[in-house]
Chain A
Amino acid sequence: MTVALRALFAGCWLVLAAGLSAAAQQPFITVASTTSTEESGLFGYLLPAFTKASGIQVRVVAVGTGQALKIGEHGDCDVLFVHDRPAELAFVARGFGIDRHDVMYNDFILVGPRSDPAHAEGMKDIVEALRQIAAARAPFVARGDDSGTSKAELRFWTEAGISPKAAEGGWYRDTGSGMGPTLNTAAAMDAYTLSDRGTWLNFKNRQNLTILVEGDRRLFNQYGVMLVNPEKHPHVKQDLGRRFIEWLISPAGQQTIADYRIDGQPLFFPDAKG
């Protein structure tokens, strides 16, 4: 018994000590980012290229944009890489973030069942398409998690002059979860939902879902990067963080973003301004 316990004890310490020492050897930064960048597979492609070029390891905590900004506000990350421009600019204005840069964009798409009870397929106007879904009382699954996608969706409903909250529990289902789980729910319910294209392209459990509306200029989805303000949080690794930001907006970083494709389709379009 005691021998087995001792072996177990040694094993535990080995694992932890190995983890800690490996972490101590390499400089790293912590980046709070969105589920779309992680679930679309972009980070799996982009970050090794940066680490190779710089020797800096990037530790990504992937959550909704709202929660990512909270993590930054608490000072629990060094860099933010998110997609909700109004909220990002407010974050900078409140003094929590500095050095914000546009990095890339992708677009939102309206996905829904092939049967398409609201006849939204092929529409070029996202707001009109949402009006038709509401009129048909067709099931719509929403993120409802304060993410960039969720906020964009709510903006479109406001433009359509519809208050979906009033239909909560009816045809409007608020799942309070990330993009992937929301797509899983929509697939299971044959419901409509708004997704970012990257997560959709990398999503494997589509069942009857298909892209119905795309290409509306309002569906443009801008990603930005910024440093958590070291004046608010002195432990922020500003030198390492700045190197990551500068690499992202450099020609090398921008090219790496453009090179990430699934089935030949690009997922993100670099648009940093020098």
Chain B
Amino acid sequence: MQNIADALAAAWQLVLSNDPTLVAIVSLSLGVSLTAVLLASVLGLPLGAALAVLRFPGRNPIIVIVNALMGLPPVVAGLLVYLLLSRSGPLGNLGLLFTPTAMVIAQVVLVTPIVAAIARQVVEDLWRQYGELYIFDGVGRIRTVCSLLWLGRLSLMTAVLAGVGRAVAEVGAILIVGGNIAGITRTMTTAIALETSRGDLALALGLGIILLSLILALNGAAHFLGVAARRAAV
């Protein structure tokens, strides 16, 4: 109990102190994760919708693979990206290892399957409902995909939020490809891992509470935007 009280106090003090290091860590966390989710959405939403609407050979195996990749362990994703970006790896010349860009790449690998899998589910339901109308009107496949994505935009918010949750909370991948370098690649989660290592459990949990509050605020904002949008639509 004492530890948890200390953690709450530590979190509160951190927030009050407005410490520039903390501000940098929080901005990097959000910057990396939100950029990754943005890119993953650009890739994952059309992929999911295409899997829902189009019929082509190999479609079912791809669906199974995308669903399975939702469970890709972050450490494995991190290791794959590490081997790709390492100086001894195929993309070593870019010198991207231990930079925020490397962390974005690793998180895109993690988040894209989640966004794609949920988007496929959402769009497939819509396709079942309205598919015949599109076929009847002779709408092309690509325009159908775009139109269904737009139609399902509020439900697709869930896909994006699930992606944000995965990205912001994840530590295994960015620890490997980012290296947890102070001031360069240290995010909220890697800082929490480091403080736990140092036995400063109160500070670690304090950082954790700040992270949770941010995730809560993001989800709250998304929820109310959704409610407002639904009202505007009615």
Q: State which of B91-99, B111-119, B137-145 sits at the interface with chain A.
A: B91-99
Residues of A within 8 A of B95 (CB): 235
- Decide if B34 is an interface residue (CB 8 Å cutoff): yes
> Does B31 contact A75, Cβ atoms closer than 8 Å?
no
A250 within 8 A of B: no
Q: Could you give, for residues 81-112 of chain B, a 1 whenever the CB lies within 8 Å of some chain A CB and a 0 otherwise?
A: 00000111100100101111100100000000
Query: What's the Cα separation between A74 and B92 when bound, in Å?
Result: 10
Contact with A along B157-184 (1 / 0, CB 8 A): 0000000000000000000000111101
Point out the residues of chain A lying under 8 angstroms from B92, CB to CB.
Answer: 75
Of B31, B99, B104, B179, which is within 8 A of A23 by CB? Answer: B99
Segment touching B, from A11-19, A101-109, A150-158, A260-268:
A11-19
Q: Is A179 an interface residue (CB 8 A)?
A: yes
CB <8 Å contact, B98 and A204: no
The answer on a CB contact under 8 Å between B180 and A1 is no
- In the bound complex, do residue A23 and residue B196 qualify as a contact, i.e. CB atoms below 8 Å apart? no
Q: Contact: A181 with B196, CB < 8 Å?
A: yes
A4–B38 alpha-carbon span in the complex (Å) = 13
Segment of B61-69, B127-135, B198-206 in the binding face: B198-206
Given known contacts A4-B225, A184-B196, A235-B95, A12 and B35 CB-to-CB distance under 8 angstroms = yes
Cβ-defined partner of B199 (8 Å) among A38, A184, A233 = A184
Chain A 16-39 interface residues, beta-carbon cutoff 8 Å to B: 16, 19-20, 23, 30, 35, 38-39
Q: How far is the CB of B21 from chain A (nearest CB, A)?
A: 11
Question: Hey, which chain A residues are within 8 Å of B98, CB to CB?
Answer: 30, 59, 61, 76
Question: How far apart are B37's CB and chain A's nearest CB, in angstroms?
Answer: 9
In the complex with contacts A19-B100, A181-B196, A1-B229 CB distance below 8 A: yes
Cα–Cα, bound, A246→B92 (Å): 28
Q: Which of A13, A39, A180 has the most CB of B within 10 A?
A: A180
In the complex, residue of chain B having the shortest beta-carbon distance to the beta carbon of A35:
B197
Q: B87 to A16, Cβ gap below 8 A?
A: no
A12 touches B198 (CB 8 A): no
* Nearest-CB residue, chain A, relative to B95: A235
In the complex, the answer to whether B199 meets A74 with C-beta atoms within 8 Å is: no
Q: Are B100 and A39 in contact (CB under 8 A)?
A: no
CA of A235 to CA of B86 in the docked complex: distance in angstroms? 12
**Known: A60-B182, A183-B199. Is A16-B100 also a contact (CB below 8 A)?**
yes
Interface contact B31-A15, CB-CB below 8 Å: yes
Shortest CB-to-CB span from B202 to chain A, Å, is 8
> Is there a chain A Cβ closer than 8 Å to B213's Cβ?
no
| Residues on B with beta carbons closer than 8 Å to the beta carbon of A59 | 98, 179, 181, 184
Q: Are A15 and B38 in contact (CB under 8 A)?
A: no
A-side contacts of B38, CB under 8 Å? 8-9, 12
Give chain B residues whose Cβ lies under 8 Å from the Cβ of A43: 182
Cβ–Cβ < 8 Å partners of A16 in chain B: 31-32, 35, 100-101, 104
A73 to B199, CA, bound (A): 31
Complex contacts, A38 vs chain B, CB 8 Å: 194
In the complex, chain A residues 36-55 whose Cβ is within 8 Å of any chain B Cβ:
38-39, 43-44
Min Cβ gap A258→B in Å is 22
**Given the contacts A1-B225, A74-B86, A180-B197, A23 and B97 also touching, CB distance less than 8 Å:** no
Let me know if A204 and B200 touch, CB within 8 A.
yes
B197 touches A178 (CB 8 A): yes
* Contact of A15 with B30 in the complex, beta carbons under 8 Å: yes
List 11 interface pairs A-B (beta carbons < 8 Å), by A numbering.
A4-B225, A12-B34, A20-B100, A59-B181, A60-B181, A61-B179, A61-B181, A180-B198, A184-B199, A203-B198, A205-B201
Supply 8 further A-B pairs (C-beta < 8 A) apart from A30-B98, A75-B86, A202-B198. Answer: A12-B38, A19-B31, A19-B100, A19-B184, A39-B197, A204-B201, A205-B199, A235-B95
